[in-house]
Chain A
Amino acid sequence: RKEVEQDPGPFNVPEGATVAFNCTYSNSASQSFFWYRQDCRKEPKLLMSVYSSGNEDGRFTAQLNRASQYISLLIRDSKLSDSATYLCVVNGGGSYIPTFGRGTSLIVHP
C-alpha cells in the first residue's frame, strides 16, 4: 500500500464549479499535512497547510479527517487559473521525511 495516495484525475470541471480532492495516508502517526499546487513544468508551491480544525483561504478549504486518515481540498467557484496539479504532502513526525502524493490534475474549462 502506498503511503500517500491521490486520484490522479484529471478532474475536468466548468468555470464556477465546486470540486473536491481527497488524499489518503497510511501512517496514523502523521503530524503535519500540506497542499501544494504545481503548474505545468514549474516547481510546486505551497497552497495551504491543513490543520486539525480545518482551514479556509478564500475559495479554498482544507480539512483533516484523522479517523479515516485522509485530507481534503475543496475549491469553490473554480477559475480557469485554478487548472494545475494539486499535490498533498504528509509528514510522519520525528525523523520521518515528508511524503508526497502523485498529485491530482484539475482542468477548469470555460
Chain B
Amino acid sequence: DGGITQSPKYLFRKEGQNVTLSCEQNLNHDAMYWYRQDPGQGLRLIYYSQIVNDFQKGDIAEGYSVSREKKESFPLTVTSAQKNPTAFYLCASSIGLQGTQYFGAGTRLSVL
C-alpha cells in the first residue's frame, strides 16, 4: 500500500536531549513537509522540501533541523534548543507544492 509512515507514534524527550522523528513515503512525491500542531490550534509549518537535497525553513523552524538525502525520507530532529517541544507532529508529502498533500498518522512528542 502506498502512503506515508511516521514513527514512532509516541515519543518522550528528556531535557537537553535531541530526538529524531521519522517520515517515510512510497508515493514517489517530490515535496515533503513537517508541521506542528498544538492542542486546539492549526497546523504550523516547520520545514519543507521540494526536492532531494534541498529544504526550506517554514514559519517556526527555530529549534528544529531536517535532512533530505533520499526522496522517500524526510526526518525531523527536535533539538534541545526547542524549549517547548510538546506537540503533535505531522509529516506530509505531495507531487509538487501545488499538489494534494497526504499526511502520515503523526507523532506525539512529550517532555519528561
Seen from chain A, the residues whose Cβ lies within 8 Å of a Cβ on chain B are 31-32, 34, 41-46, 49, 87, 89, 91, 93-98, 100-103
For the complex, would chain A's binding face be called helix, strand, loop or mixed by DSSP majority? loop
B103 close to A34 (CB less than 8 A): no
Other than the given A45-B103, A102-B42, 8 more pairs (CB < 8 A) read A42-B106, A43-B104, A43-B106, A44-B43, A87-B42, A95-B50, A97-B33, A97-B97
B97 close to A43 (CB less than 8 A): no
How far apart are the CA atoms of A43 and B43 in the complex, in Å? 11
**A98/B42 contact (C-beta < 8 A), A43-B90, A44-B90 known:** no
B98 close to A87 (CB less than 8 A): no
**Residue on A with the closest CB to B4?**
A43
Chain B 36-72 near chain A by CB (<8 Å), digits 1 or 0: 0000011101001010000000100000000000000
B48: A residues at CB distance < 8 A: 97
A97 close to B103 (CB less than 8 A): no
A32 close to B98 (CB less than 8 A): yes
Identify which of residues 65-112 in chain B touch chain A, using a CB-to-CB cut-off of 8 Å: 88, 90, 94, 97-98, 100-106
B94: A residues at CB distance < 8 A: 98
B97 close to A96 (CB less than 8 A): yes
How far apart are the CA atoms of A93 and B97 in the complex, in Å? 8
A100 contacts which of B43, B88, B104, B106 (Cβ < 8 Å)?
A: B43
A94: B residues at CB distance < 8 A: 97
B45: A residues at CB distance < 8 A: 97
